Amino acid sequence: MPLKTEEMILNVGPQHPSTHGVLRLEVTTDGELVTSAEPTIGYLHRCFEKYAETLTYQQIIPYTDRLDYLSSMNNNFGFVVAVEKLMGIHVCERAERIRVIMAELNRIASHLMFIGSFSNDLGAMTPFLWCFRDREEILKIFEEVSGARLLYNYYRIGGLAADLTPGIEEKIYSFLNQFEAHMLELDDLFTRNAIVIARLKGVGMIPREMAIAYGLSGPMLRASGVDWDCRRDEPYSIYASLRFEVPVGGEKLGALGDCYARYLVRRAEIDQSVSLVRQCLADIPPGDVKEQVKRNVRPPVGEVYVRTENPRGEIGFYLRSDGSTKPSRVKVRAPSFCNMSVFSRISKDILVADMIAILGSVDIVLGEIDR
């Protein structure tokens, strides 16, 4: 009599070490082989978009902190850029420079968090703590500037909540100097580790066409060889005047569209962000960063859609104004949400360990997926 076998349905999450929050994956496994993996989301839904309609524009800013809570500065940035575009406000050079410094520092912090949790998913414990050591320094800088360590609420429509504190430039410089040395050590420990490469090469391949078809953005898109970055191709703020490269998967980074490429793109972006912070720090003009607009802004009737480059991809803010102090509609295009859509497509006929690696390489934040 042949042995009867059956597929096993595994619930990965909502409480599981590798789901990075409250995500549930319904996984069908045949032994170690994953035959399908369907994400179930919504455990963290808090009606941000609807709730925003009851708030004034300034009041929405702290709520954007909580979308992608690992890159609050960037969320603030996207939202204020959208409102400023709707109102036609010009922001002074000093405020713009500080905004870019904070956004890029936050990008570094967010990518450090990615590398840390990703290495933890692969079973390496030390890179996690090394990354957190450096992220801590960034959080200290943010705390000094904005008063908060995670949810900064630092950007304002037309300016910033507060100016730089005296002496913070030196602190940022000294952080960057030691940070670059630390990154070389991280490369020795993790990036070129033979087991890391064996675990990630060719895993979770996303071809160029698939990446575009699923609407991926950010490092996910660039790892698949699409050379697109909002900061360069649709510049906002002062990015047009800054010099930086856009790391793209492919021959230069030694991989295309697999988990390793996604890791390498983010790793290379850290270096670019360091360079951007240095450029902006080099000459910050004097000026007043406080907003020159009223507290309760009344944008003219109309609508606007602005996309900016978050660490996880393009965050898009759609705002519709009816001329009152509150928006009549807010819609957020969350990069993690779109990036996650490709997950079940590439998580077929792989091993359980690969599924965890793929999930880690997508780098999701549930606060943003569920909003």
Partner 1 sequence: MQGMYETLLAALGAERVIPFSVGFAVLVVVFALFAAIMGAVVALIMVLAERKISADIQERIGPNRVGPMGFFQTVADAVKLLTKENVLPRKADSILHYCAPTLVFTGALLPVAAIAWSNRIVAADLNIGVLYVVGTASFGVIGRLMAGWASNNKWSLLGGMRAAGQMISYEIPNSIAILSVIVLAGTLNLQELSEAQMGGIHQWFVFRSPFAFVACLIYLVSSLAEVNRTPFDLPEAESELVSGYHTEYSGIRWAIFMMSEYIGMVVVNAVAVALFFGGWNGGLPGEPLLGGWIWYLLKIAVLMYCQVWIRFVLPRLRIDQLMSLCWKNLVPLGLLALLGASVQALMGPTGQRVMMVAAWLVFGGFVTLLFVAVRKTRHVPAQGGFSG
Does residue 192 bind partner 1 (CB under 8 A)? Answer: yes
Does residue 188 bind partner 1 (CB under 8 A)? Answer: yes
Taking CB under 8 A as the criterion, the residue among 14, 18, 275, 322 binding partner 1 is 18
Taking CB under 8 A as the criterion, the residue among 107, 199, 307, 312 binding partner 1 is 199
Taking CB under 8 A as the criterion, the residue among 53, 149, 170, 195 binding partner 1 is 195
Stretch that binds partner 1, among 59-67, 101-109, 124-132, 279-287 (CB under 8 A): 124-132
Stretch that binds partner 1, among 152-160, 163-171, 193-201, 215-223 (CB under 8 A): 193-201
Burial status of residue 209 (CB atoms within 10 A of its CB: 0-12, 13-18, 19 or more): exposed
Taking CB under 8 A as the criterion, the residue among 45, 46, 50, 133 binding partner 1 is 133
Query: Smallest distance, Å, CB 231 to partner 1?
Result: 19
Quote the longest CA-to-CA distance of the chain: 84
Taking CB under 8 A as the criterion, the residue among 92, 122, 211, 366 binding partner 1 is 122
Separation of CA 105 from chain center? 12
Q: Give the tokens for residue 130.
A: 């090394």
Give whichever of 183 and 366 is closer to partner 1, judged by the CB atom: 183
Query: Smallest distance, Å, CB 55 to partner 1?
Result: 38
Taking CB under 8 A as the criterion, the residue among 44, 55, 89, 124 binding partner 1 is 124
Does residue 205 bind partner 1 (CB under 8 A)? Answer: no
Q: Give the tokens for residue 124.
A: 């390496």
Mention every residue, 6+ apart, whose C-beta is less than 8 A from residue 345. Answer: 210, 214
Query: Smallest distance, Å, CB 267 to partner 1?
Result: 5
Separation of alpha carbons 185 and 27, rounded Å: 36
Does residue 363 bind partner 1 (CB under 8 A)? Answer: no
Question: Edge-to-edge strands of the sheet including 327-333?
Answer: 302-310, 313-321, 327-333
Angle at 246 between CA 240 and CA 249, to 5 degrees: 160
Does residue 213 bind partner 1 (CB under 8 A)? Answer: no
Does residue 193 bind partner 1 (CB under 8 A)? Answer: yes
Does residue 149 bind partner 1 (CB under 8 A)? Answer: no
Residue 242: left (phi > 0), alpha (psi -120 to 50), or beta?
Answer: beta
Separation of alpha carbons 292 and 88, rounded Å: 13
Residue 322: left (phi > 0), alpha (psi -120 to 50), or beta?
Answer: alpha
Helix, strand, coil percent content, the chain, rounded in steps of 5: 50, 15, 35
CB count within 10 Å of CB 17 equals: 11
Query: Smallest distance, Å, CB 196 to partner 1?
Result: 6
List Cα–Cα distances, 118 to 13, 121, 340, 356, in angstroms. 17, 5, 16, 9
Give whichever of 53 and 187 is closer to partner 1, judged by the CB atom: 187
Give whichever of 11 and 324 is closer to partner 1, judged by the CB atom: 11
Give whichever of 119 and 336 is closer to partner 1, judged by the CB atom: 119
**What residue ranges bind partner 1 (CB under 8 A)?**
8, 10, 16-18, 29, 31-32, 119-126, 129-130, 133, 183-185, 187-193, 195-199, 247, 251-254, 264, 267-268, 271, 351-354, 356
